[in-house]
């Protein structure tokens, strides 16, 4: 069976660019900002922001398509200059900065500075946690999308530092006042570690350390299914097939086609390794029901049919995979390591909806 592993290197080209300095970790926006009587700036960066603030929320993605576009923008490139540009608390500027980071992610290392500076800016807003419901909801939406972007780029160290900062921030406020901490936090810690393992070649010690991480996330109702699926995959890679099957059998995802696909694909792999080929075939077919023509499940099904001495069916299954262009079908296995990246469009919409008080 040909099993194509996700490419972790292409998502971490800028992994050395994000340095969490003490200045970034200190909550608080920079001083300054353009005064009410200041002349309107003609700089491309400010012009882009004005279009965004006027309601053209897609202007950033439309404008930044190449590295040359990023350079032509003449954005403030370091933390100090960005803080000066941000000035007093402004939800629109905070959202714009995160959308800028999203658009720049594959084009420039500047997106890491934008995320780090934006995080400090959002955390340094005037109203403390629990005292302004609108700002609380906006901040939560900002953090969700920011962590999703870090997962999308596969930056495990940056994620771990960010998540630790969130735990300290929300844990420092009395529970009677603090808004609820994102229930995905424990799972996101596990995904960051899973990415770190993948970048290191999945050494057994690293994989074994994942199991308790995902066991903790499995206790949270919102993340139990995904945590059990990811724990099962770690067990599988350790060749602990019985434990892998036990873990994945606890998952029963509904409404998330990626999770459903991963569950059936991984269960098929586990059952195949246990010699239960008929059951493995059934799981691969269910994976294809969730994501028709996905390459990994299609190839796995073809290989299993060959093992079952059904060559004609195997050839047909393999042909079905070859006939569909990769531009038409995105196999969720290819994006498995990118974790919450699949939610970025949804979380971007949530952030935008919370810009205006």
Give the whole-angstrom CA distance, residue 236 versus residue 336.
Answer: 15
Give the whole-angstrom CA distance, residue 232 versus residue 217.
Answer: 13
Nearest CA-CA partner of 69 in 48, 51, 38: 48
Burial of 124 (0-12, 13-18, 19+ CB in 10 A): middle
Q: Are 189 and 161 in contact (CB under 8 A)?
A: no
Torsion angle (degrees, nearest 10) of CA 93, 97, 102, 103: 90
Predicted confidence (pLDDT) at residue 20 exceeds the cutoff of 50: no
Burial of 274 (0-12, 13-18, 19+ CB in 10 A): middle
Element (H, E) at 226: helix 224-237
Q: Which residue has the tokens 């080929």?
A: 277
pLDDT at 181 (0 to 100):
87
pLDDT at 22 (0 to 100):
31
Q: What 3 state SS string does 88-99 have? A: CCCHHHHHHHHH
Give the whole-angstrom CA distance, residue 27 versus residue 177.
Answer: 19
**Weakest-pLDDT range from 34-48, 79-93, 229-243, 290-304:** 34-48
Q: Mind giving me the DSSP string for 36-59?
A: TTSPPP--HHHHHHHHHHTT-TTH
pLDDT at 243 (0 to 100):
98
Work out the pLDDT band at 345, boundaries 50, 70, 90: very high
Q: Are 55 and 67 in contact (CB under 8 A)?
A: no
pLDDT at 12 (0 to 100):
44
Work out the pLDDT band at 19, boundaries 50, 70, 90: very low
Contacts of 69 (CB under 8 A, 6+ apart): 63, 107
Predicted confidence (pLDDT) at residue 23 exceeds the cutoff of 50: no
Contacts of 311 (CB under 8 A, 6+ apart): 305
Work out the pLDDT band at 326, boundaries 50, 70, 90: low
DSSP structure class, residue 131: S
Work out the pLDDT band at 10, boundaries 50, 70, 90: very low
User: What are 233-290's pLDDT values in tens digits?
Assistant: 999 999 999 999 999 999 999 999 999 999 999 999 999 999 999 999 999 999 999 9
Q: Are 215 and 226 in contact (CB under 8 A)?
A: no
User: What are 46-73's pLDDT values in tens digits?
Assistant: 999 999 999 999 999 999 999 999 999 9
**Weakest-pLDDT range from 237-241, 328-332, 336-340:** 328-332
Average pLDDT, stretch 311-325?
Answer: 87
Work out the pLDDT band at 40, boundaries 50, 70, 90: low
How far does CA 247 lie from the centroid of its chain? 23
Cβ of 102: how many Cβ atoms within 10 Å?
A: 22
Residue 32 zone, left/alpha/beta (φ > 0; ψ -120 to 50; rest):
left
pLDDT at 48 (0 to 100):
97
């Amino acid at each position: 069976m040909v099993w194509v592993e996700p490419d972790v290197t292409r998502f971490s080209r800028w992994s050395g660019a994000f340095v969490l300095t003490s200045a970034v970790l200190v909550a608080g926006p920079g001083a300054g900002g353009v005064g009410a009587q200041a002349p309107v700036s003609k700089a491309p960066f400010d012009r882009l922001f004005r279009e965004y603030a006027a309601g053209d929320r897609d202007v950033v993605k439309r404008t930044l398509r190449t590295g040359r576009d990023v350079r032509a923008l003449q954005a403030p490139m370091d933390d100090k200059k960005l803080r000066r540009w941000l000035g007093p608390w402004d939800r629109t500027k905070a959202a714009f900065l995160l959308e800028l980071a999203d658009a720049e992610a594959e084009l420039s290392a500047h997106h890491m500075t934008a995320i780090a500076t934006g995080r400090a800016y959002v955390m340094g807003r005037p109203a403390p946690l629990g005292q302004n419901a609108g700002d609380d909801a906006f901040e939560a939406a900002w953090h969700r999308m920011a962590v999703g972007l870090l997962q999308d780029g596969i930056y495990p160290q940056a994620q771990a530092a960010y998540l630790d900062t969130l735990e300290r921030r929300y844990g420092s406020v009395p529970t009677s006042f603090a808004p609820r901490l994102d229930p995905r936090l424990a799972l996101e810690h596990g995904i960051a570690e899973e990415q770190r393992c993948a970048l290191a070649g999945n050494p057994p010690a690293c994989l074994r350390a994942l199991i308790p991480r995902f066991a903790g996330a499995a206790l949270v109702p919102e993340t139990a299914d995904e945590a059990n699926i990811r724990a099962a995959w770690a067990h599988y890679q350790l060749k602990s097939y019985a434990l892998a099957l036990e873990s994945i059998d606890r998952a029963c995802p509904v409404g998330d086609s990626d999770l459903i696909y991963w569950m059936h694909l991984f269960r098929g792999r586990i059952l195949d390794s246990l010699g239960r080929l008929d059951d493995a075939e059934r799981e691969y077919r269910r994976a294809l029901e969730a994501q028709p023509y996905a390459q990994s499940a299609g190839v796995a099904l073809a290989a299993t049919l060959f093992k079952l001495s059904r060559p004609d069916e195997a050839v047909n299954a393999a042909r079905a995979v070859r006939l569909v262009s990769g531009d038409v079908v995105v196999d969720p296995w290819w994006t498995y390591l990118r974790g919450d990246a699949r939610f970025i469009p949804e979380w971007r919409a949530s952030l935008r909806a919370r810009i205006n008080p």
